[in-house]
Amino acid sequence: MKFVELKSSLNNVKNAYFILGKDSYLRNSAQKLIENACVKSLPDFNINSFDNENFDITKILDICQSMPLCDNRRVVIIKNITLDKTSVDMILKYLQKQNNYCCLLFVKEELSTNEKPLLNFCETVDCNYLDEKIIEKIIAKKLQEKLIKSDIYTIKCLISYCNYNLSKINLELEKLIAYVGEGGILKKNHIELMVVKDVEYSIFELSNAVLEKNGEVAFKVLTYMIENGESIQNMFGLLLSSFRRLFFARTSNLSNTELAKHLEVKEYAIKLARNKKLSATKLKEILELGSKLDFQIRKGEITDKNAIYTFISNSILI
């Protein structure tokens, strides 16, 4: 199920959940919703959390099989752990005869191959980035609580700068609310002044500038990223990935959803890419240039910094 469906489903709590997705804010929120649905009286006694520091599969399963204290259920959380095959086999054995007084939660960003058999016994909660319209409503509600006025273009700017990541949006929103003050007006220039752009958003801006042959904007974005401490090696890889995505969007017959899944990106990124009228030949030349420079970096013939400047300068000329 999607995260937005979770709350309404908790009148019938399942015995096991896999909370998966890239947005840590949503993962933590889903965990809290399930905890609150299960444990009303004694959370210190009836909620047990395990991570890499205290992971002990035997102890975990012993707790899962015990009764809660003065509550309907106990909650056992296995968080941000990649389970080995032995642990998975032991958990599978428990899940086949699970305790109805225990809710077992697996909370992590991505599923490993070993863990896939567990999905047969768990309800999955999708905590990947939310749809833009839903995020807009969440932001608008938070601003309304502080009597702060804004407009949809400012809200969309914040979402774009944070690359749809609700964890980052909430952190930035706290700063912005403190800056404009209760009853104030949040404007787009406040976003531009206060919010550090997500690296993927900056890469999107950079690739756009290259395709529009706007060297001034391209190097301005690049300088901004370097000054904000981004790794040049990482930027170069992300820039190549951006052009690769554009190339696939231009040449593939897959649907937006299918291609997004294949490339492991958000669907809106494919929609944006397909809205651009681009030459497949030009994109292919840019990718070939990037591959050549990447090979030269690996051979030690050129530095990361020279490579990315060369790539941008020459791609603008293609």
What pLDDT shows up at residue 204?
Answer: 85
The yes-or-no verdict on residue 273 having pLDDT over 80 is: no
Q: Which CATH class is domain 132-194?
A: mainly alpha
The residues, any chain, with a CB within 8 Å of residue 114's CB and separated by 6 or more, are: 82, 83, 84, 85, 88
What pLDDT shows up at residue 268?
Answer: 67
The yes-or-no verdict on residue 257 having pLDDT over 90 is: no
Tokens 């840019």 — which residue? 286
155 vs 246, more confident: 155
Q: How big is the CA angle at 217 (ends 212 and 223), to the nearest 5 degrees? A: 135
Backbone angles phi, psi at 225, to 5 degrees: -65, -40
What pLDDT shows up at residue 167?
Answer: 86
What pLDDT shows up at residue 99?
Answer: 83
**Surface-to-core class of residue 27, CB atoms within 10 Å of its CB (0-12 exposed, 13-18 middle, 19+ buried):** buried
Q: Bridge-partner residues for 78, per DSSP?
A: 50, 106
pLDDT digits (tens, 9 = 90+) for 135-149: 999 999 999 999 999
**Where residue 76 falls among pLDDT bands split at 50, 70, 90?**
very high
d(CA 183, CA 92): 53
DSSP state of 110: S
Taking residues 226-253, report their average pLDDT.
87
What pLDDT shows up at residue 277?
Answer: 66
What pLDDT shows up at residue 311?
Answer: 94
**Where residue 250 falls among pLDDT bands split at 50, 70, 90?**
confident
The yes-or-no verdict on residue 17 having pLDDT over 70 is: yes
Taking residues 201-230, report their average pLDDT.
89
**Residue 314 one-letter amino acid:** N
The residues, any chain, with a CB within 8 Å of residue 281's CB and separated by 6 or more, are: none
Backbone angles phi, psi at 198, to 5 degrees: -60, 145
Q: How many CA atoms lie within 13 A of 112 on its CB side?
A: 13
The yes-or-no verdict on residue 128 having pLDDT over 90 is: no
Architecture of domain 3-126: 3-Layer(aba) Sandwich (3.40)
The yes-or-no verdict on residue 270 having pLDDT over 90 is: no
The yes-or-no verdict on residue 276 having pLDDT over 70 is: no
d(CA 273, CA 260): 11
Structural domain boundaries in the chain:
3-126, 132-194, 199-317
The residues, any chain, with a CB within 8 Å of residue 236's CB and separated by 6 or more, are: 290, 293, 294, 297, 304, 307, 308, 311
For the chain, the first-to-last Cα distance in angstroms comes to: 45
Helices (H), the chain: 3-9, 24-38, 43-46, 57-64, 85-95, 132-145, 152-161, 166-180, 188-194, 199-211, 215-227, 232-251, 256-263, 267-274, 280-298, 304-317
**Where residue 58 falls among pLDDT bands split at 50, 70, 90?**
very high
What pLDDT shows up at residue 259?
Answer: 77
Taking residues 81-87, report their average pLDDT.
93
The yes-or-no verdict on residue 160 having pLDDT over 80 is: yes
The yes-or-no verdict on residue 55 having pLDDT over 70 is: yes
Q: One fold for both 3-126 and 199-317? A: no
Closest residue by Cα to residue 106 from 120, 94, 122, 126: 122
What pLDDT shows up at residue 245?
Answer: 84
Q: Which residues of 76-92 are buried (b: 16+ CB within 10 A; e: fewer)?
A: bbbbebebeeebbeebe
What pLDDT shows up at residue 41?
Answer: 85
Percentage with pLDDT > 70 across the chain: 97
C-beta of residue 90 within 8 angstroms of C-beta of residue 60: no
The CATH topology of domain 199-317 is Zinc Finger, Delta Prime; domain 3 (1.20.272)
The yes-or-no verdict on residue 254 having pLDDT over 90 is: no
